[in-house]
Amino acid sequence: MASNWSSCISDELAKVEVVMDDVTAKAENPQLREMCRYVLSNHGKRIRPAMCILSYRLLGGTEPDKAVDLGAAVELIHNATLIHDDINDEGEMRRGAKALYKQYSLGKSIVAGDFMYALGFQLMGSTSKEIVGYVIEAAAAMGSGEFDQKKYEHNIDADETQYIKIISGKTAHLIEASAKCGAYLARPDDYEAIQKVGDITYNVGLAFQIIDDLLDVIGDTKNTGKKVGNDLVEGKPTIPTIYAMQDPTYGARVREIFEKENTSYDEAYEAIELIKKTDSIERCFALAKKYSDLALEELQTLEDSVYKQAMIDLIDYIVARDR
Amino acid sequence: MASNWSSCISDELAKVEVVMDDVTAKAENPQLREMCRYVLSNHGKRIRPAMCILSYRLLGGTEPDKAVDLGAAVELIHNATLIHDDINDEGEMRRGAKALYKQYSLGKSIVAGDFMYALGFQLMGSTSKEIVGYVIEAAAAMGSGEFDQKKYEHNIDADETQYIKIISGKTAHLIEASAKCGAYLARPDDYEAIQKVGDITYNVGLAFQIIDDLLDVIGDTKNTGKKVGNDLVEGKPTIPTIYAMQDPTYGARVREIFEKENTSYDEAYEAIELIKKTDSIERCFALAKKYSDLALEELQTLEDSVYKQAMIDLIDYIVARDR
């Protein structure tokens, strides 16, 4: 998290860590506490708290500590869902470390996920109904997103429209919700501004996930902390594969590999080489750019500030990142 | 649910079913909807909605429909945790039907549990911070309860104090929270009355779980819908086993079986026969009665009404039930 975009909110992001530590320290059971720490210490990009705090500032909020608790709450909820996702996807690694259920047990990890989820909502509980509403709605959308994704696993009918629907549910709505929490805190009565911040960050969320999925093809394990080709092995309908399946020359073989259950890593690597020969990578970047441009365009209608510049930098970082 | 105690709130309990159906119908994904239906149609005792509605009435609430949504919300959250519990405990059956993860898949069941959990909180979201607070606190306590239980699995150091702590977290606090939701709705400013209803139903919750655990030893599959001896096979530190392990004659063999990992059903049945030879069953009933008496005693301080009588009948039913 050493990029420039975070410098103007670095104090608040540091406080987010403290709040998450304090909240999970409340777990009476020592192993439950240890498991929460394991997940949180394996540091993610903290995009969601950043969105909450930046959005609060974007709309002129002057007491950023107010947004810290909410940012931490959303990050706890996000991490809770990652614990369950890894079980669901049989993911072995998360950010360069063993997935929680591989390090501990499946049963305990399910409970630890539920617990962290409850902690997130508990931390949010002392705010307003609207705020809880944003996040709960996103949490419910996540379930739908996961199911839609499962429906298109190893399914060559997957297309861009379906993909956008899946990643809206899985990723973009929680990022949007986190931002709307911050926006609401700053201007509770300004429905239009809250909606605008929501639209901006929803589009950022889509761009973020597109790049994330692209990194499964063109990423470097050293940077991403996870094996390349995972999504292909799991048969996930991600956009690099979807585009490559449409290629007149290489599409047939990519479809063949994608359709097969029990894809091996060798086959996944073969598919990756084929994907790279098509225009898929280019189209993925263009799609991410389409959404980040939408975000940037709407962002321009907001008043200039160091926080607006930070949001622009964050968007640039998201589209250009290699991890 | 044909007992007398529910007759004065039967309309409201029927509405709870309708609300839960409506809410889960919102799932866009057809299979996710189907899985929610599967869980909810496999009808439980609906103790938690009953507690919410009766508590509302106990404190003089006159618009019981207000309590219906909250009762449904808590029941959704309860069912969500059961989905995850079954995975966690490797439970095969739930109320006479296959556990969700056995009927569908583990991954989908984790997500369906998370989704139903989110739906419960969503339904609750339009009420007050206090109400969400009660339920979230109970949800967090559930995680601790599960971990405490795991710590004492196959562990002969398990004792009554630990057991009560475990079932407080696993069961009693959510029943208490459900009741406090109803109480708060009826008298938001009467902290003392809310607390009293909370204390009463917390004790009912303990008695409920003690009998539930006893039914794993003396129950009849035809009534309970699950195999007898399950808890012993799973090495769960429940009170019939804890008491039997203290028996001077049969305790040594019960401890031997309980301590062993991979307990077979034959061994569990042997343990059950031994438990029945000790004073454990009697002591379990006495323990349940201790808590139900505490509840009844405090209940007497509330004004007489048909709802108070229903609560008394419900408590009698809980202690005397065979399912």
Please tell me the predicted confidence (pLDDT) of residue A16. 97
**Phi (first) and psi of residue B166, to 5 degrees:** -60, -50
What residues of B are in the A interface, CB distance below 8 Å? 26-29, 31-32, 81, 84, 87-90, 106-108, 110-115, 117-119, 121-122, 125-126, 128-129, 132-133, 136-137, 139-140, 142-144, 146-148, 150-151
Distance from C-alpha of A27 to C-alpha of A32, rounded to nearest angstrom: 6
Q: How do the pLDDT tens digits run along chain B, 323 residues long? A: 445 788 999 999 999 999 999 999 988 889 999 999 999 998 788 999 999 999 999 999 999 998 999 999 999 999 999 999 999 888 888 878 899 999 999 999 999 999 999 999 888 876 788 898 899 899 989 988 999 999 999 999 999 999 999 999 999 999 999 999 999 999 999 999 999 999 999 999 999 999 999 999 998 877 777 778 999 999 999 999 999 999 999 999 999 999 998 899 999 999 999 999 999 999 999 999 999 999 999 999 999 999 999 999 999 999 988 77
3-state DSSP assignment of residue B97: strand
User: From residue B219, how far is each of B227, B228, B243 by CA, in Å?
Assistant: 9, 6, 18
Rounded to the nearest angstrom, the minimum Cα separation between B217 and chain A is 24
Distance from C-alpha of A54 to C-alpha of A201, rounded to nearest angstrom: 11
Angle at A127 between CA B116 and CA B195, to 5 degrees: 75
A136 vs B contacts (CB less than 8 Å): 118, 121-122, 125
Report the residue from B119, B125, B136 with minimal CB separation from A118: B136
The 8-class DSSP code of residue A29 comes to S
Neighbours of B274 (CB within 10 A): 21
B112 vs A contacts (CB less than 8 Å): 143
Rounded to the nearest angstrom, the minimum Cα separation between B94 and chain A is 17
Distance from C-alpha of B179 to C-alpha of B173, rounded to nearest angstrom: 10
Contacts of B152 (CB under 8 A, 6+ apart): B158, B162, B166, B237
* Contact (CB, 8 A) for A241 and A275: yes
Mean pLDDT, chain B, rounded, equals 93
A28 vs B contacts (CB less than 8 Å): 144, 148
* Contact (CB, 8 A) for A152 and A166: yes
In this structure, the strands spanning A93-94 and A97-98 are antiparallel
* Residue A106, CB-side half-sphere exposure with 13 Å CA sphere: 17
Rounded to the nearest angstrom, the minimum Cα separation between A90 and chain B is 9
Tokens of A161: 């429209």
Do the Cβ atoms of B84 and A111 come within 8 Å?
A: yes
Neighbours of A251 (CB within 10 A): 17
Environment class of residue A95 by beta-carbon count within 10 Å: exposed (0-12), middle (13-18) or buried (19+)? Answer: middle
User: From residue A155, how far is each of A135, A148, A272, B280 by CA, in Å?
Assistant: 31, 11, 17, 56
3-state DSSP assignment of residue B305: coil
Tokens of B63: 């618009």
pTM comes to: 0.91
Do the Cβ atoms of B119 and A110 come within 8 Å?
A: no
Neighbours of B156 (CB within 10 A): 16
Distance from C-alpha of B175 to C-alpha of B40, rounded to nearest angstrom: 18
Please tell me the predicted confidence (pLDDT) of residue B67. 96
Contacts of B268 (CB under 8 A, 6+ apart): B229, B230, B232, B233, B257
Evaluated on CA atoms B208, B212, B218, B223, the torsion sign reads positive
Q: What single-letter amino acid sits at B198?
A: G
Among A320, A317, A247, A236, which Cα is nearest to A1's? A317
Report ipTM (2 d.p.): 0.86
Among A129, A1, A15, which Cα is nearest to A69's? A15
- Residue B94: its H or E element: strand B93-94
Please tell me the predicted confidence (pLDDT) of residue A40. 95
Among B242, B113, B251, B232, which Cα is nearest to B165's? B242
Cα nearest neighbour of B33 on chain A: A144
Please tell me the predicted confidence (pLDDT) of residue B125. 73
Residue range B41-62, pLDDT digits in tens: 987 889 999 999 999 999 999 9
Q: How do the pLDDT tens digits run along chain A, 323 residues long? A: 445 788 999 999 999 999 999 999 988 889 999 999 999 998 788 999 999 999 999 999 999 998 999 999 999 999 999 999 999 888 888 878 899 999 999 999 999 999 999 999 888 876 788 898 899 899 989 988 999 999 999 999 999 999 999 999 999 999 999 999 999 999 999 999 999 999 999 999 999 999 999 999 998 877 777 778 999 999 999 999 999 999 999 999 999 999 998 899 999 999 999 999 999 999 999 999 999 999 999 999 999 999 999 999 999 999 988 77
Residue range B226-266, pLDDT digits in tens: 778 999 999 999 999 999 999 999 999 999 999 998 899 99
Environment class of residue B261 by beta-carbon count within 10 Å: exposed (0-12), middle (13-18) or buried (19+)? Answer: exposed
- Residue A315: its H or E element: helix A306-320
Residue range B258-293, pLDDT digits in tens: 999 889 999 999 999 999 999 999 999 999 999 999
Distance from C-alpha of B318 to C-alpha of B323, rounded to nearest angstrom: 9
A115 vs B contacts (CB less than 8 Å): 140, 142-144
Do the Cβ atoms of A125 and B107 come within 8 Å?
A: no
What residues of A are in the B interface, CB distance below 8 Å? 26-29, 31-32, 81, 84, 87-90, 106-108, 110-115, 117-119, 121-122, 125-129, 132-133, 136-137, 139-140, 142-144, 146-148, 150-151
Report the residue from B26, B84, B140 with minimal CB separation from A110: B84
> Which one of B128, B136, B153, B236 would you mutate to disrupt binding with A, by most A Cβ within 10 Å of its Cβ?
B136
Please spell the DSSP secondary structure of B47-59, one letter per residue: HHHHHHHHHHHHT
- Angle of helix B129-151 relative to helix A106-124, nearest 10 degrees, comes to 160
B122 vs A contacts (CB less than 8 Å): 133, 136-137, 140
